[in-house]
């Protein structure tokens, strides 16, 4: 059964379609137009896995798909790859009537959306996320971009997709560490918005890890609803949307320091949420037992909770000072007060930040 949500963005509502084995059902192709030109952006690994399955369904439904592949990995989310894709589009004589399809995880979605937003001053694109992290977070909300050597997602735009297709079938093809990485964002939503959802995750983590469709469908739809509500209020992160960055200021610093090679995004965010929770405890906002409970849930999903021992404290501060969420040069942190409530702080001292990291090393 297909589930459908509508993202109520001002002047541009768009649907999210969620289901299992969606592409075997012809009804999904009613969202495509056989007279349009579609260019699918993916990586070589996904193309190898799905070329003779998913793509054949497009052909059967008379949807012409051209393919551009880029290398796999966060370290390839760069202006170099943007230039490569744009060059391919130009050589193919793609015009404003062309529609890009992001077929992959968060890296593919971010870079495809960014190219769509700047190619010929903006063309349409579609999100087909294949990782859990992309399905519950990266594919929804219109954030696009690439990394810079000095910081993550420093170059980008807000550019909403035409629609999003979430097929839970793709999750069965993920390596386990990729699957667990996605659950970091799921846990993030529960800590920010909903204690009942947090309790549900504590109770049902085994069903989720084992990819039981009923539980996954509920989980993914719940997260998309959380994000839909917040971006409908604050599309371009000018106000309340910033709460979605819980754990990301610390986590992005870790990713940047290791050049996006040592940790998956969700793994770095898991550690970032632990450090942020410890920051909140040191400041007297969060109870110790709640910090322990957050750490326990992250561990249930096999996520790391201890900061890298070989990352100097000053390196955290170096990258955190360059975070795009900062205000007037002050580092802005999203800190939990309890499960279901977080608040923004921009006057946390360097000493508190360092103490939080040190405390987290003891987990």
Which residues span the domain enclosing 84?
3-174
Residues 181 and 99 in one domain: no
pLDDT in tens, 226-265: 999 999 888 888 888 999 999 999 999 999 999 999 999 9
Q: What percent of the chain has pLDDT over 90?
A: 79
Q: Is the pLDDT of residue 324 over 80?
A: no
Q: For 244-256, give one letter per residue: b (16+ CB within 10 A) or e.
A: bbbbbbbbbbbbb
> How, if at all, do strands 151-155 and 146-148 pair?
antiparallel
Tell me if 230 is assigned to some domain. no
Residues 213 and 277 in one domain: yes
pLDDT in tens, 134-165: 999 999 999 999 999 888 888 999 999 999 99
d(CA 286, CA 148): 34
Tell me if 231 is assigned to some domain. no
CA proximity to 248, closest of 129, 183, 152, 347:
152
pLDDT in tens, 88-114: 999 999 999 999 999 999 999 999 999
Residues 158 and 199 in one domain: no
What's the whole-number average pLDDT of the chain?
94
Domain with residue 98: its CATH number is 3.40.50.1970
pLDDT class of 12 with cuts at 50, 70, 90: confident
pLDDT class of 166 with cuts at 50, 70, 90: very high
- Residues with a catalytic annotation lie at 121, 143, 185, 227, 237, 241, 245, 248, 252, 265
């Amino acid at each position: 059964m297909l589930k459908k949500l509508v993202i109520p963005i001002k002047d541009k509502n768009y649907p999210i379609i969620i289901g299992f084995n969606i592409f075997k059902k012809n009804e999904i192709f009613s969202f495509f137009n056989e007279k349009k030109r579609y260019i699918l952006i993916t990586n070589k690994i996904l193309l190898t896995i799905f070329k003779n399955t998913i793509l054949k369904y497009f052909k059967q439904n008379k949807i012409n798909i051209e393919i551009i592949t880029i290398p796999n990995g966060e370290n390839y989310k760069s202006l170099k790859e943007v230039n490569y894709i744009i060059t391919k589009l130009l050589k193919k004589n793609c015009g404003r009537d062309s529609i890009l399809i992001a077929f992959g995880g968060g890296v593919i979605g971010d870079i495809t959306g960014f190219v769509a937003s700047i190619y010929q001053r903006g063309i349409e694109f579609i999100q087909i996320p294949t990782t859990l992290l992309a399905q519950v977070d990266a594919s929804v909300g219109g954030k696009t971009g690439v990394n810079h050597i000095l910081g993550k997602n420093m170059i980008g735009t807000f550019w909403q997709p035409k629609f999003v297709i979430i097929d839970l079938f793709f999750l069965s093809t993920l390596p386990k560490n990729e699957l667990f990485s996605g659950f970091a964002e799921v846990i993030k939503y529960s800590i920010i918005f909903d204690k009942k959802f947090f309790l549900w995750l504590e109770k049902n983590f085994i069903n989720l890890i084992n990819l039981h469709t009923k539980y996954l469908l509920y989980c993914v739809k719940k997260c998309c609803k959380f994000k839909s509500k917040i971006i409908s209020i604050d599309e371009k992160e000018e106000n309340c949307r910033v709460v979605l960055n819980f754990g990301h200021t610390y986590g992005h610093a870790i990713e940047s320091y290791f050049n996006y090679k040592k940790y998956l995004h969700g793994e770095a965010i898991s550690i970032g949420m632990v450090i942020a929770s410890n920051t909140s405890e040191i400041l007297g906002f969060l109870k110790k037992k709640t910090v322990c409970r957050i750490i326990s849930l992250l561990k249930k999903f096999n996520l790391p909770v201890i900061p890298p021992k070989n990352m100097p404290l000053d390196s955290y501060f170096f990258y955190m000072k360059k975070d795009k969420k900062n205000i007037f040069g002050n580092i802005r942190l999203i800190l939990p007060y309890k499960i279901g409530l977080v608040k923004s702080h921009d006057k946390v001292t360097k000493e508190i930040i360092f103490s939080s990291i040190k405390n987290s090393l003891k987990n």
